[in-house]
Amino acid sequence: MILELKNITKTFGGVKAIDNLSLGVQQKQIYGLIGPNGAGKTTIFNIITGNYSATKGDVIFDDQNITNMKNYKIVRRGIARTFQNIRLFKSMTVLDNLLVGMDKDIKYTYFESIFRLPRYFKHEASSYKFAIDLLDNLGILQHKDEIATSLSYGIQRKVEIARALATKPKILLLDEPAAGMNPNETTQLAQLLFKIRDDYDISILLIEHDMKFVNHLCDKVLVLDYGETIFCGDIKDAIKDKEVIKAYLGDFKHA
C-alpha cells in the first residue's frame, strides 16, 4: 500500500466537507475518486498534498504519517499533482516548465551556481537529460522550445503531467485530467496514463467525471457524495449501485 487515508474528516466552520473517509491505493494501481460536483473530491487532494489540514484522521504515505505536513515536504517525499484548471508557467517554454519541477533535487549550493563550479554543471546536465527523455517518452519532445500556454489544450495537459513527473513521484494525483478533451484525446490520455504507470512504476489517484474513461482506466473507485463514502470497489459494480446512480442522476421517486 503506497497511500492510505484513515478516517479522514474535514470541517470548514460548521460544515463537514469530508466525513470519516478511508481509502488505500496500492503500488502501481490506478484508483478513481469520483462523485458529483461538490462531493469533496478536490478537498481530499488538498488534504493529501498539505494544502488543507485534516480535522481528524491520518494520511499515511509509503509507511510514514504525513498528516498536515507542509506541502513542499510532501512533494519531496514523492507525491505530485495536477489541477483541474491547468497551471503552467505562462512565460516559460515546455522544457523550462519541466526544469522548474525538478528544483527539489538541486544538489549544488548557491555559491556553486554563482561561480559555475563542476557540481552545478553536472546537476544541470543531468536535469536537462531527464527532462528531454521525459518529454520524448510522453510524445511531446517536438514542443520543448514552445511557450507552454501557446499549445493546444490536450498538449498543455500532457505538459502539466510531465512537469509533475519531473519531481520523480511515487504517486501521481490527477484532478480531472480528461476535462475538456474530445473522445480521441481521452483515449490517447488513457493510453498515456497506462504507459506512465508501467514505465515509471508509480501509482495514480485521479478525480474524473468521464465514467467511460474511468471504466477503462481504473482498477478501483471510491464514490463520494456530500463528503460521505457511498461506494468503494470495482467500477463495474459502482455503475450498477443504487446509491451511486441516485447521487449522479437524482432520486427518481421524487423527480
pLDDT in tens, 49-100: 999 999 999 999 999 999 999 999 999 999 999 998 888 998 999 999 999 8
Which residues lie below 8 Å from residue 248, measured CB to CB, with a gap of 6+?
36
CATH architecture for the domain at 1-78+169-255: 3-Layer(aba) Sandwich (3.40)
Where exactly does CATH 3.40.50.300 map onto the chain?
Answer: 1-78+169-255
Beta carbons of 88 and 158 less than 8 angstroms apart:
no
- Above 60 in pLDDT, residue 250? no
Give the pLDDT band (50/70/90) at residue 124: confident
What's the predicted TM-score (pTM) here?
0.90
Average confidence (pLDDT) over 102-115: 66
